[in-house]
Structure 1
Amino acid sequence: MEPYIISFILSLTLLWLGYYNKSKKAISVTFIIIALFILSLLAGFRDETVGLDLSYYFVPNYDAARAMSSKTALVYLFSTGLEPLYLLSIYVVSQFSYDYFLYFFLQEFLSLLLILIACNIKKYNVNYFFIFAIYLFYFYCQSLSLNRQVYAVSLIFLSYPLILKKKILKFVIVIIIAILFHSSAIICLSLYPIVRYGLRPIKRSFYYYFVIVFSGGIFYFIFPSLLNFLINYGILVQKYTRYLDEDYSIHKFDILILVVLYLNTFYKQLSLNFKNGIRLLIIISFFITLCGTYNDIASRAALYFQFCVLYLFAISLNNLSKKYRLRMMFSIIIIYLVSFVYQSSTTDLIQTVPYTSRSLGI
């Protein structure tokens, strides 16, 4: 755990300095880039055994891509059942380096950079320290294993400001690109109408929330049938059918996190439109998370909705007084930190704990 702890402390310190010195652009950018480099180097130097999915998807495809001609690679992109842009990224990097380091480093750096870009929208002034702190505790270790979805997550981050700006065509293009890296991103097509509807600044009645919860319950019960439909029509990879026959469970911390997020919507200074949008997304995220008992893809899809909630919180922080801003920010960060500490001490976090590196002698 030591490499993670040291890297997280260093990068968060630098990100904090970068955010609170943003008026001094050169200094701020320097702090941020160094922070991203630390996290990317940690990802780059890891062994190929750090991350469960690497042995299934990355290693065999990277090794095969090294010897491929461009013509063979073009056929290969559409013959394995894996998402073509993921395979294309492997092929391109494998032509420059036989070592896995370059791919691991670039993957993490580009993913973090896309998230940073999504947070640097002048109109909204997103608190990127808040976003990255949660990303590290919630998803960084997962990103070392979820070798395809890490691209989708960072691209979905780019879609959040497009929703707020009502740029529907650009939004759809970004989502399609994300789907070509990981098919679970298809659920994010629903984000645009959900967020736009949720952000209406009108007082919501009990009846409204009853309908949402009731609809969520129905979705939970029909989820296996819906999943089979998507698989049968080739929208999702066939392997997810097998997952329906396996036993899954959701972690109690996943539910506790959603409860903490919901409680943070009761600040009076939180604008009504953001309060409505965040609450709707939390309720939907809750039912998608519950579907994780059926299939692992639901747990992965819940990530997109939860990150959207956090993105809206990161914007809303600007509307709060300093006292309430710090209280909200650290109450949310702390619950993710506690979850990370607990899960890293009781599980291997998808085989990313312990961290090992032949290059670093760890």
Structure 2
Amino acid sequence: MIFYIFIIIVSLLLFNIAQINYKKNIFFILPYTAFILLLSILGGVRDDTVGIDMLVYGVISFENAKYSDTLLGLLKYVPGEWGFHTLMWLCAKISNDIHFMLFVEEFIKIILVSSTALHFKNKFNPTMFMFAYLTFFYFIGYSSMRQMLAISIFIYGLRFYFNNEHKKYIFTCLLAMTFHTSAIFALLIYVIRFIHGKSFKSTIIIHLAIVLFVYLFSFTIMEYILSGNFGLYSEKADLYMEKEGVETAKTNILLAIMFFIISLFYKFWKKDKPDYIIFSVLLVYNLFFLLMSTRFEVAFRISWYQIPFILILYFTYVRFYKNGGRSIMNFLFILLFSLHFIISSIHGLDGTIPYTSKILGINV
């Protein structure tokens, strides 16, 4: 854990220097390049045993791609998520070394996320956004490779959402789904905006009713999927049903973060403003999935798709506080996400602790 904290601090220092000197040629390019390469190389040279899901979604997928002569032949063999397997195939054709693929995967993710943070530089401090990403998503991505690629594409697509370029946003969500089908929940963020009542109150009631229905019938729904009506998804659902859920402590910390954000936004938003409505609705779903994560581990992963959207709005409006208030809000945010990272690390951070690399000769 200490090693990861060191990497986070160094990465944020490099990124902060870069964003301060944004568009100032060499003073931006050098620290930004160092930031990208540090995180890409660190993920690229890790052993193929780092991460719970690494064997199946990393090693086996890469081996399948390596021994497939044609891309079409590989895509006929694999059951969906063709974007991810296409990336595996392309990397395998360039190099048979799995570490090259791991490097490319990390490079793509950090470029997409950091460029999105810089895109919103005029709205909030991009370093804070990168802090949230590094403490919440980055190291888990050593295990959940496919989903983190999908989430990175989704995060990049948020620039289109907030620029009202909705066709481009939908396209990025569909592209993300080719890496991990859970990205359908990113697409649902767009759909949710059309499910509303005549007022803020009626809209919240509608979505609370949806949440209550899903909660009451969650086991029935999962059992229906397990019955075989959804083919491949039945097999995946069976795996999820065997999970015991996410640690309560982790869930409670995230709940605290979300309630904290709710209290913050009541000061600045008019209840009938569209962005406030969609923000509040996403909080409802995020809290719901966090609560459900005590029953199904997969619910915690679904909650990841609301978090980047919520963070962008949070950072956008925290600036309205005066210097003292803004500092307090940022401190509380850093504290809560740091606690989340520490507790996740205590529980192994999805099997990514310890970090081992035969190439670097380290085991920490």
What TM-score, normalized to structure 1? 0.88
For this pair of structures, how many residues does the alignment match?
356
Deviations 1:207-244 (A, max 9, x none): 65454434322222233454566786659634323125
Q: Which amino acid is the alignment partner of residue 172 of structure 1?
A: I
The Cα shift of 1:341 comes to: 1.2
State the alpha-carbon separation in 2 of the partners of residues 79 and 180 from structure 1: 15
1:87 corresponds, among 85, 107, 125, to 85
| CA 1:204–1:61: 2 relative to 1, 3 Å | closer
2:53 aligned counterpart, secondary structure: helix
2:356 aligned counterpart, secondary structure: coil
State the alpha-carbon separation in 1 of the partners of residues 121 and 191 from structure 2: 21
State how 1:28-67 maps to structure 2 within 5 Å.
28-67=28-67
Q: Which moved more, 1:188-197 or 1:134-143?
A: 188-197
Q: Is the 8 A contact 2:153 2:172 kept in 1?
A: yes
State how 1:133-282 maps to structure 2 within 5 Å.
133-194=131-192, 204-205=200-201, 209-226=204-221, 237-251=233-247, 252-267=249-264, 270-272=268-270, 273=273, 274-282=275-283
Equivalent residue, structure 1, for 2:327: 326
State the alpha-carbon separation in 2 of the partners of residues 260 and 54 from structure 1: 30
Structure 1 unmatched ranges of 5 or more:
none
State how 1:260-339 maps to structure 2 within 5 Å.
260-267=257-264, 270-272=268-270, 273=273, 274-339=275-340
Percent of residue pairs bearing the same amino acid type: 22
State the alpha-carbon separation in 2 of the partners of residues 276 and 144 from structure 1: 35
1:316 aligned counterpart, secondary structure: helix
Deviations 1:298-318 (A, max 9, x none): 221110112211122122234
Q: Which runs of 4+ in 1 moved over 6 A?
A: 228-231
Deviations 1:131-178 (A, max 9, x none): 110111111121000011111011111222222222222122111111
Q: Which amino acid is the alignment partner of residue 32 of structure 1?
A: Y
State the alpha-carbon separation in 1 of the partners of residues 208 and 129 from structure 2: 28
2:183 aligned counterpart, secondary structure: helix
Q: Is the 8 A contact 1:21 1:27 kept in 2?
A: yes
| CA 1:92–1:247: 2 relative to 1, 3 Å | closer
Q: Is the 8 A contact 1:243 1:296 kept in 2?
A: no
Equivalent residue, structure 2, for 1:361: 361
State the alpha-carbon separation in 2 of the partners of residues 230 and 165 from structure 1: 37
State the alpha-carbon separation in 2 of the partners of residues 258 and 240 from structure 1: 27
State the alpha-carbon separation in 1 of the partners of residues 297 and 361 from structure 2: 34
State the alpha-carbon separation in 2 of the partners of residues 276 and 17 from structure 1: 35
Instruction: Output the aligned Cα RMSD.
Output: 2.8
Structure 2 unmatched ranges of 5 or more:
none
Q: Is the 8 A contact 2:255 2:290 kept in 1?
A: no
State the alpha-carbon separation in 2 of the partners of residues 321 and 299 from structure 1: 34
The Cα shift of 1:127 comes to: 2.7
Q: Is the 8 A contact 2:120 2:126 kept in 1?
A: no
State the alpha-carbon separation in 2 of the partners of residues 126 and 226 from structure 1: 40
What TM-score, normalized to structure 2? 0.87
Q: Is the 8 A contact 2:44 2:99 kept in 1?
A: yes
2:190 aligned counterpart, secondary structure: helix
| CA 1:348–1:115: 2 relative to 1, 3 Å | same
State the alpha-carbon separation in 1 of the partners of residues 154 and 250 from structure 2: 23
Q: Which moved more, 1:232-241 or 1:178-187?
A: 232-241
State the alpha-carbon separation in 2 of the partners of residues 10 and 78 from structure 1: 43
1:149 aligned counterpart, secondary structure: helix
